[in-house]
Amino acid sequence: MQTNTFSINRMRRRVIVNQVFKYIFIFSMSLALLALALLIYRILNQGLGSLNIDFLRQFPAPYPEKAGLFAGIMGSLYLMFLIAPISITIGVSTALYLEEYAAKNKFTRFIQINVQNLAGVPSIVFGLLGLTFFVYLFSLGYTLIAGALTMSLLILPVIVVASQEAIRAVPEDIRAASIAMGATKWQTIWRIVLPASIPGILTGSILALSRAIGETAPLIIVGAAAAIYTIPDSLTSKYTAMPIQIYNWTTRPQEEWQYLAGAGIIVLLIILLLMNSIAIWIRNKFQSRY
């Protein structure tokens, strides 16, 4: 009798502990969600007041009411148009080589591990790489193309890994079918494998590009400037970018600049949200299952 009540009590305690911990887990997770909510609330609260058409059209200025994000937006767009073809070409080619052509040997494994390790290198180290090679060694200086090349290398591993996954998901059957119909290896890749894996490749590439748009540290190192009063007109122009402007405004002591930084962040986040939505849309729309 006594052991029975003992085990019932024990049972009850175990069930209660289980419930308590469930709520502890929910509570901890809510903290992360709360942080996100506060972050968004804070930024809207700070930035919405300064967000207007003039802010989008004006160049940087010494007075907060005259300053705008136009040079930053255009700089980021130019960067994106340079980064996308460079990094996607190299990234997809690397993935194709690794998945379709490479023999399963030590050299292939080395490239693979190398790509994985590159993905873990802090972005600021890529900035140092760009500073030595592109800015000084290739004497490109603090120019748009030096920034674009640095950022392309930064997001390269992300694109390689995403493309590899997309290419791997194309089933062996349709490759074999194509070869059996007399197509050569490259014809099969170009006409069968690539079209089938394009949605995955695009999704990964857009996500990688949105990372490049938000990156600040490497651009600071390779010399994106804050006070830029023109739009880049060649590859060797000086340039700025949205995160650089935001960083610059954030570090100024007067409160008015903080509002501008908030407004800039809203624009940046909207652009990132758009890019991510497009990526998700592509994934859902074109994802074909075999």
Partner 1 sequence: MDTQQEQNYSVQEMINQKKSNKSIFNTTEKIVPLFLLLCAIISVLTTIGILFTLLRESVTFFSDVSLAEFYLGTQWSPWSGKFGVFPLIAGTLLVTAIATCVALPIGIASAIYLSEYASTRSRKVIKPILEILAGIPTVVYGFFALTFVTPILQGIFPDLKIFNALSAGIVVGIMITPMIASLSEDAMNAVPNRLREGALALGATKLEVTWKVIIPAALSGIVASIVLAVSRALGETMIVTIAAGATPNLTFNPMESIQTLTAFIVQGATGDTSYGSTIYFSIYAVGITLFIFTFAMNLFAQYISRRFREDY
Binding mask 117-156 for partner 1 (x = CB under 8 A): xx-xxxxxxxxxx-xxx--x----------------x--x
- For residue 25, the minimal CB distance to partner 1 (Å) is 4
Nearest partner of 249 among 44, 63, 10, judged by Cα: 63
Residue 155 neighbours by CB under 8 Å, 6+ apart? 83, 87, 91, 208, 209, 211, 212
Stretch in the footprint of partner 1 (CB under 8 A) among 67-75, 173-181, 197-205, 262-270: 262-270
Least distance CB 71 / partner 1 (angstroms): 16
Distance (Å, whole) CA 59 – CA 71: 6
The residue (of 52 and 117) whose beta carbon lies closer to partner 1 is: 117
Quick check: 162 binds partner 1 (CB under 8 A)?
no
CB 74 within 8 A of CB 87: no
270 sits near partner 1 (criterion: CB under 8 A): no
Q: Number of C-alpha atoms within 13 angstroms, CB side, residue 273?
A: 7
The residue type found at 212 is A
Residue 96, interface with partner 1 (CB under 8 A)?
A: yes
Q: Would you say 46 or 50 has its CB closer to partner 1? A: 46
Q: Which is nearer to partner 1, 15 or 48 (CB)?
A: 15
- Tell me the three state secondary structure of residue 205: helix
To partner 1, the closest distance from the beta carbon of 273 in angstroms equals 9
Judged by CB under 8 A, the chain residues 165 through 184 that form the site for partner 1 are 184
Structure tokens at 140: 């490109």
Give how far the C-alpha of residue 209 lies from the chain's centroid of Cα atoms, to the nearest Å.
5
When binding is defined by CB under 8 A, the residue of 69, 148, 215, 239 that contacts partner 1 is: 215
Residues within window 16-45 making contact with partner 1, judged by CB under 8 A: 17-18, 21-22, 24-26, 28-29, 31-33, 35-36, 38-39, 42-43
Nearer to partner 1, 13 or 66 (CB): 13
Number of residues that bind partner 1 (CB under 8 A): 82
Nearer to partner 1 by Cβ, of 196 and 267: the residue is: 267
Neighbours of 43 (CB within 10 A): 18
Stretch that binds partner 1, among 61-69, 91-99, 167-175, 281-289 (CB under 8 A): 91-99
Alpha carbons 35 and 16: distance in angstroms, whole number: 29
3-state secondary structure 69-80: CHHHHHHHHHHH
Q: CA 156, 157, 162, 164 torsion: positive or negative?
A: positive
210, 232, 239, 282: which one binds partner 1 (CB under 8 A)? 210
Whose CA is closest to 115, among 51, 158, 169, 60? 158
User: By C-beta, is 187 or 290 nearer to partner 1?
Assistant: 187
Cα 132 from Cα 129, distance rounded (Å): 5
